Structures are given as structure tokens and as C-alpha cells.
Structure 1
Amino acid sequence: MRWWKLLGLAGFVGVAATGVVVARAERRRRAYTPEEIRSRLRERITEPSGSDS
């Protein structure tokens, strides 16, 4: 029965770690100003794509 407890604890730690990663990525994404997002999108549109060859 003890290994069930360890498995449950490992699952809980995994879920918590995933939540931290998602929250950090969301914070980084929201840090951009609207003008920065527009300029990055324009750069993506104007750069040549490698799939045409």
C-alpha cells in the first residue's frame, strides 16, 4: 500500500510542476505590448519561408 502513496505524491508533484511552467509561459506571453506583438508578426510575414524549395 505504501507504493500507492508514493505514486500519488509523484503525480501531485508532476501536476504542480506543469502548472508552474504554464503560469511562467503565460506571464512571459502577457509581458509583450500590443505594438511588440504587431512588429513580431510583421517580421514573421516578411521573412522568407524554407518550405518553398
Structure 2
Amino acid sequence: METKGLTALRISLASPQTIMSWSYGEVLKPETINYRRLRPEKDGLFCEAIFGP
């Protein structure tokens, strides 16, 4: 990684409004994988609609 020209780096906390704007959905169920279909549970911790494929 080239660092020439880099003079400063600022890290700060994101506001609650900014975090909500990054959101794609809400996890509503604690389930992860459907053991019969071997697919992620809808609205669960591995839901593709929320977290992507």
C-alpha cells in the first residue's frame, strides 16, 4: 500500500441516523438455517434479503 501524500486519518463514530441509512432490513428471528431445505431462514440471521447472497 502506498502511503505517500497521506498526512492524516480521521476516525469517528457514525450517528444513529447514518447507521439506519446503511440498513437493509431487520433480523426478526434467531434461526439460521432450515435443516430440511439447507437454506437460510427468511428474516433470520443468515437471510439473504438482509445480508446478501
* TM-score bin (small chain): under 0.3
Higher fraction of strand: 2
* Greater RCO structure (CA 8 Å; 6+ sep): 2
Higher fraction of helix: 1
TM-score, with structure 2 as normaliser: 0.23
TM-score, with structure 1 as normaliser: 0.23
